[in-house]
Amino acid sequence: MDPKNKLMNAVLWVRRLPRKTLETLRRLPRLVVEELSGIGKEFLEMIKNFYRLRTTPGKRISLLLSLILFLVFIKLYYNTSVERHAENSQDKLVPTGEQLWNGFRKTIFEVNIKEEYDVNGEAIKNDLPKTFREARKLDKQAIAEGKFRNRREAWINGSAREYLKQGESLLWQDTWASGKRILISMVFIFAGIYIGLFMGAFPYAEKVLYRFVLFFDKIPAIAVLPILFILFGLGETSKIALIVIGVAPTVILDTYLKVKEVHDEQIVKGMTLGASQPEIVFRIIFPQIIPKVLDTVRLNFKSVILFLIAGEALAAEAGIGYRIFVVRRYMDMATIFPYVVWISLLAFMVDMAFRSWISRQYQWLNK
């Protein structure tokens, strides 16, 4: 579909929206009845076929069934939280919804104000507001008093922006620190794809590398962490090395196996079409295996994060793993929860991006 058409369709959809909404509202009672009766039918079906092997559950009941365990989990958490707070209202282990929300706000929305010191080592006090909300309040007052003409001017010259300039949100700082480590280690992991490619394609390279990589693959990376810290110091190098040692051998070996899976007919065919040796490797073998290898990298993203957190937990100045293990000392569950949710969400989003990129870029895979 060409973009102009797409735009037209979107416009038409929006213009039709009010009438559609009204229609839906009018039909709402009947829709509800239909849905409920549908659920009832599918429920009966489920009872009848629960122990059957080859059945297809209905759409509505499938959704409900997949939600059950989540709901049970939330309910259990809620009950525990209420019980513990009845005993001790200051309980931190199982924070209530309000405590969690405050934790989210503290880590995500509030900036980590950098303190400045004077010559004597005493903190310089400034009269800037302490939270973003206060700053916004000041701005609104200023608009009401007529200091700024409109909201745009207030944003440009006001105290809200001044407040944000003082520092960054804790979560953002930590994400950036961890993200840098992941990005650098990803470069090495992608280099691993080429090592695997050469290993699979050239028998002599295979003889040199295969046993060695296999050996490295079997070393539990966490166990060598102390060695890495001694060798590379407590800086970034050791953390990146941990991720690379933990994940790269898997990627290399997987690429190697994928290269071995390429049918010999394809290579012979390439030779009869006049392909040189490097052309066979880079124009026949590589394009066949790359989407599968990217899938492996995607699945190994979990171990990347695992090793990242393990490395940061021991020694770091910032980072998601570091923060989680620091606030653990104060049993600050209200901070740990947002971090766990955030890193899971990040991993999920990266995974989704990889997946959609692969399926879009390599359409020949969709057999």
Interface with another protein (CB under 8 A): 263-266, 268-276, 278-279, 282-284, 287-288, 362-364, 367
Residue from 329, 341, 345, 343 nearest 92 by CA = 329
CB 274 to another protein: min, Å = 4
Write phi, then psi, for 167 (nearest 5 degrees): 180, -170
* Residue 52, H or E segment: none
Instruction: Report the interhelical angle of 59-87 vs 3-49 (nearest 10°).
Output: 80
Nearer to another protein, 55 or 361 (CB): 361
Work out how close the CB of 204 gets to another protein at its nearest, in angstroms, rounded to a whole number: 17
Of residues 6 and 269, the one with the C-beta less far from another protein: 269
- Looking from the CA of 114 toward its CB, the CA atoms found within 13 Å total 8
**CA atoms of 227 and 132, how far apart (whole Å):** 44
Nearer to another protein, 188 or 282 (CB): 282
What is the identity of the amino acid at 122? E
Between 191 and 222, CB nearer to another protein: 191
Residues in contact with 209: Cβ distance below 8 Å, sequence separation at least 6, in sequence order:
195, 198, 199
Provide the minimum distance between the beta carbon of 300 and another protein in the complex, in angstroms, as a whole number.
23
Q: How far is the CB of 196 from another protein (least distance, A)?
A: 18
Q: How far is the CB of 263 from another protein (least distance, A)?
A: 4
The C-alpha atoms of residue 110 and residue 19 are separated, in whole angstroms, by 43
Give the whole-angstrom CA distance, residue 294 versus residue 301.
Answer: 11
Sign of the torsion formed by the C-alpha atoms of 99, 102, 104 and 106: negative
- Cβ closer to another protein: 99 or 296? 296
Q: How far is the CB of 272 from another protein (least distance, A)?
A: 5
Give the nearer residue to another protein in terms of CB position, either 134 or 279: 279
Closer residue to another protein in complex, CB, 203/226? 203
Which bin fits 146, alpha (ψ -120 to 50), beta or left (φ > 0)? Answer: left
